Structure 1
Amino acid sequence: MRWKQFVASVLYALNGIRIAICHERNMRIHFAATIAVIVAAAIFRISKMEWLVLLLTIGAVMSLEIVNSAIERTVDLVTDEYRPLAKEAKDLAAGAVLMFAFISVIIGISILFPYMYVFFKNSLHFHK
């Protein structure tokens, strides 16, 4: 019985990810950025440690976005009318995502930029 409960829990969680990707515009933006970063990282053959940092960063941003969406939906479920605390709850959750998304851009640039610099520098020397 426990195995079936575990499988059901995983399926519920996967459904939550599907809902986020299908219905949340910002999640689709994060997903597209994730694909671009993963492709770039694969092309540049970044180190194992750099992969780990990127994957943790990607996981954190995507997780925060899902939590933000859950908070927004919960607030909407509780009240249809404007309430300052409801707005603050939504703004705080969105702020958490924005803050970490900004930090993740800095992390991504700091990891990928040296590889891109060498690649383009070598490309320019090759064409001269």
Structure 2
Amino acid sequence: MKRFLYFKERIRSFSYAFQGVRTLFSETPNARIHLVIIALVIVLGFWLHISRMEWIAVCILFGVVPATEALNSAIEKLADFACGGRIHPSIKKAKDLAAAAVLLTAIASVVAGALIFLPKLIELFVE
């Protein structure tokens, strides 16, 4: 019986996580932008025949950027709730740091994308 309850709780925890994913993409405009970019990168990756290792790098970034966006959104929601609309300097710092995490992962993704895709695009259009 304990095992059954354990698995039931694990399944329930997945449902909470999927609800969080739905909330992220339905309520966070930047997350929807990330999703569009992910779709474009997938199309570009197939078109340019990127290698298995390049796909691995791209897929990791497909997870990291939305994950940091989710953490940023969670911190913002908690901070806004905690301060009741009045932004304390510490709350502002926490929100700014969370936003910085998203910015840094997005910049890393752009750099990685440039390293992967630019040589292939240059080769395709220059020769």
Q: TM-score, normalised by structure 2?
A: 0.91
Aligned to 2:23: 19
1:12-91 maps to which residues of 2 (within 5 A)? 12-80=16-84, 81-91=86-96
CA distance in 2 between counterparts of 1:12 and 1:89 reads: 25
Task: Choose 29-38 or 110-119, whichever is displaced more.
Answer: 110-119
Which stretches in structure 2 are left out of the alignment for 5+ residues?
none
CA distance in 1 between counterparts of 2:7 and 2:74 reads: 27
Shift of 1:11: 1.1
SS at match of 1:46: coil
What's the RMSD between the two structures over aligned residues?
1.1
Task: Choose 84-93 or 112-121, whichever is displaced more.
Answer: 112-121
Shift of 1:117: 1.6
Aligned identity (percent) is 37
Task: Choose 109-118 or 65-74, whichever is displaced more.
Answer: 109-118
Equivalences, count: 122
Q: TM-score, normalised by structure 1?
A: 0.90
Choose the corresponding residue for 2:126, options 95, 117, 121.
121
CA distance in 2 between counterparts of 1:59 and 1:82 reads: 30
After superposing on structure 2, the runs of 4+ consecutive aligned residues of structure 1 that deviate more than 3 Å are none
